[in-house]
Structure 1
Amino acid sequence: MASLAINGGAPLRTASWPGWPLFDEREEQAVLDVVRSGAWGRNAGKKGDEFEAKFAACHDAKYAIACVNGTAALEVALRGAGVEGGDEVIVPPYTFIATVTSVLLINGVPVFADIEPGTCNLDPVAVESKITDKTKAILAVHIGGRPADMERLGAIARKHNLRLIEDACQAHGAIWNGTKVGAIGDVGCFSFQASKNINAGEGGALLTNDAALEERCWSLVNCGRTKTGQWYEHHLPGWNYRLSEFQCAILLAQMERLEELAQKRQENGDYLAARLRELEGISPQDADARVTRSAYHLFIFRYHAEAFGGAPKERFVKALSAEGIPTSPGYKPVYQEPVFRSAPVFFPGVTSSTMVDYDRVDCPVCERLCAEEAMWFKQSMLLGTREDMDNIVAAIEKIQANSGELLA
């Protein structure tokens, strides 16, 4: 008789996990207040200004600019930082595709640098090896909310006179060496999409401490206007990327529980990581004293098949999910997405003859992790109890004890 749920056995867990999003009367009242105010657009009300001030203060930044989503924030950040058509931007291959499409949207050239196996973040050594005279910026992702090595990446950016842009779309409340992420580089970008640790269904924001950069990014978000100019006076080819007052009101309410939930995720995430390190064949992200706090938007870990009878990653993911522990196999390398694989990519900002063949990209660490090892749990699971975390460990132990069934 089968023991594993994937083969018809009883699942270890049948209880549900914490739902997402979390909301209460605060969000409801916030939306109702905007409805009744009649000031629904960003320029008509005050919720947008309130949110930007609160979000900047929360991250110890001078300036915040709200915008429609994280992709737009990245696009504006790149354009605001002076990246132009044909400029190269170093990006990680292990990330949501928006990190890379934001570069494409401004006719920049994404250059992939491999990741560290223990963190899934950009490998600073790989980054420096990719720098050319065309490189304009490094786009550092804090993957899953785990801060990238901002010390070494910052040093590389300064050495080569490059812009350092933080993709903090998964890193609300993350802290690197005592400093909130998002305002460490030249500009940081956040997302408030529905899965994020604070959300308004959709939304985004930029953070910076650079007044000139803030002015340019603000203009790009606001149709090319300036804060002191006339309404129908446009100085840049910008977009209308503004958030509505409804979204800003919801975000203000969401921020009231940001710190409480961040601490909860950290407590459970750190506990779960410690428990999993006791198991053979499971490797959570590497510990690093400089990571004051991970946002744990994703709890990323690596699976080593040899400790589970050689069962492939896909089989383990399905087995763990069947035991009542929802598990995602995660991303594949971005450069393997169809948008890059259909044909060599032409970049009009370079030269008429320049084509980039992404089939030639070689990021062996990322490819191994995606194909064989990396997987994750969603952030909402870390809002459960200590017993919930123990269930995860017990389910993995159960699968390991019956690993012969995985190959049946």
Structure 2
Amino acid sequence: MTQNSRPKPEFPVWPQFGEEERTGLVRALDQGQWWRMGGSEVDTFEEEFGAYHGTPHALAVTNGTHALELALQVLGVGPGTEVIVPAFTFISSSQAAQRLGAVAVPVDIDPGTFNIDPVAAANAVTPRTAAIMPVHMAGQMCDMDALAKLSADSGVPLIQDAAHAHGAEWAGRKVGELGAVAAFSFQNGKLMTAGEGGLVTFVDAGQREEAFLRHSCGRPSSDRYYFHKTSGSNFRMNEFSASVLRAQLARLGGQIDTRERNWPVLSGLLAQIDGVQPQLIDERVTRNPHYMAMFRIPGMSAERRNRLVDALIERGLPAFAAFRAIYRSDGFWETGAPEESVEAIAARCPHTEAVYADAIWLHHRTLLGTEQQMHEIADILSETLATL
């Protein structure tokens, strides 16, 4: 069968929803109280999500970017401080720090896992470093052993950007059990979603209490007389979003199981295609939710990679170009940028330079398909590559 005559694969749709979400929305509606201070959906969702991720200290917020910003503020990030971030990530990772007045310091990544390089992070620590932000790229957890040691040795706390890592585990430990704050996203494409939303898991009750104040304009939940104890903003999640997310959380484990079964099949097939390198999985990752099916074609130019993405979309694959290096976006330089040139940062981030130009990711709904569809994906990629 030629590529032009091949039928387009029909992958499962995303988001997935059913009667559970409808029931939750009606339950929230019937409360008659639709914000977290009067209802019970947000409180219950925090308890359920926290338990699933190994911590009693969870706080739901408006979106994943706000989750990062709030978590960084609780860790003491602000003007005069620096936050170490991977150069290869979605730009919210750096902008959350920059909006607090801190300087974002990009460092290089591992070319196989696409995660922050602990050695590069260690080399970037200065007396002004207030936090180190590992980003669990595509659900593949960072080297949390090396990063925990770096944090202990330097005294600099970690904040996990876990926007891709719902349900992930490192060496049998859940995200909330790793002794570091973690920020999650529930944006429409994420592994569980209410269209938008976010959540932070904290190490202890004190951090969570400060975060609660700051996410609610500095006001305690019991206050009647407008005594605002801290500065803050309104990052509160509403009851309807929480009701949907409770249903989404109940689906998460089964969906991860399916993606965990399909990724070894797909990655093995992709590795057989000349020049294609699937994302490597650290053997210490004991549960990987596979937010993306990522692979590289080393040596491919960004222009050719972009043509390939367009061609794959035309053939029915939900394909995307990899994130740009954050320092190659104008928004990175608006505020809180280091006193370096683009060229200087690029010179110390060679792996980021390569990966952002030659990597592609497929939407995680592809990994919810059948085993036969994993073969179809590999066939389509192989055929399409041959035409470029």
Deviation at 1:183, TM superposition (A): 4.2
User: Aligned pair 1:334/2:319, yes or no?
Assistant: no
Q: Match for 2:162: what amino acid?
A: A
**What does residue 382 of structure 1 align with?**
367
Deviation at 1:222, TM superposition (A): 1.6
User: Aligned pair 1:72/2:81, yes or no?
Assistant: no
Q: How many residues matched? A: 386
- Secondary structure in 2 matching 1:314: helix
Deviation at 1:238, TM superposition (A): 1.2
Distance 1:155 1:196 in 2: 30
**What does residue 151 of structure 1 align with?**
145
**What does residue 98 of structure 2 align with?**
104
**What does residue 220 of structure 1 align with?**
214
Cα deviation 1:347-372 (Å, max 9, x = unaligned): 7xxxxxx955455312111111112x
Change (3 A) 1:108 1:258: same
Alignment of 1:230-309 (within 5 A): 230=224, 232-304=226-298
Deviation at 1:304, TM superposition (A): 3.4
Structure 1, unaligned stretches of length 5 or more? 348-353
Deviation at 1:15, TM superposition (A): 3.2
Higher mean C-alpha displacement, 171-180 vs 354-363: 354-363
Q: Match for 1:98: what amino acid?
A: S
Higher mean C-alpha displacement, 321-330 vs 173-182: 321-330
Distance 2:167 2:36 in 1: 25
User: Of the candidates 367, 370, 388, which is equivalent to residue 356 of structure 2?
Assistant: 370
- Normalising by structure 1, we get a TM-score of 0.89
Distance 2:92 2:352 in 1: 17
Higher mean C-alpha displacement, 63-72 vs 391-400: 391-400
Cα deviation 1:258-290 (Å, max 9, x = unaligned): 101111111112221122223321111113210
Distance 1:15 1:285 in 2: 23
Contact in 1 for aligned 2:267/2:278 (Cα 8 Å): yes
Distance 1:31 1:325 in 2: 32
**What does residue 203 of structure 2 align with?**
209
- Normalising by structure 2, we get a TM-score of 0.94
Contact in 2 for aligned 1:51/1:249 (Cα 8 Å): yes
Deviation at 1:39, TM superposition (A): 1.1
User: Of the candidates 358, 376, 379, which is equivalent to residue 394 of structure 1?
Assistant: 379
- Secondary structure in 2 matching 1:243: coil
User: Of the candidates 178, 193, 199, which is equivalent to residue 199 of structure 1?
Assistant: 193
Change (3 A) 1:224 1:304: same
Cα deviation 1:324-359 (Å, max 9, x = unaligned): 2231112110111112357xx467xxxxxx955455
Deviation at 1:136, TM superposition (A): 1.1
Change (3 A) 1:22 1:231: farther
Contact in 2 for aligned 1:13/1:325 (Cα 8 Å): no
**What does residue 350 of structure 1 align with?**
none
Distance 1:392 1:65 in 2: 38
Q: Match for 1:108: what amino acid?
A: A
RMSD of Structure 2 on Structure 1 (CA)? 2.2
Distance 1:325 1:131 in 2: 41
User: Aligned pair 1:317/2:309, yes or no?
Assistant: yes
Q: Match for 2:266: what amino acid?
A: L
- Secondary structure in 2 matching 1:257: helix
**What does residue 24 of structure 1 align with?**
18
- Secondary structure in 2 matching 1:312: helix
Distance 2:229 2:304 in 1: 55
Contact in 2 for aligned 1:182/1:189 (Cα 8 Å): no
Deviation at 1:83, TM superposition (A): 1.3
Deviation at 1:207, TM superposition (A): 0.4
Contact in 1 for aligned 2:54/2:176 (Cα 8 Å): no
Question: Which structure's CA Rg is the greater one?
Answer: 1
Change (3 A) 1:346 1:21: closer
Distance 2:59 2:214 in 1: 10
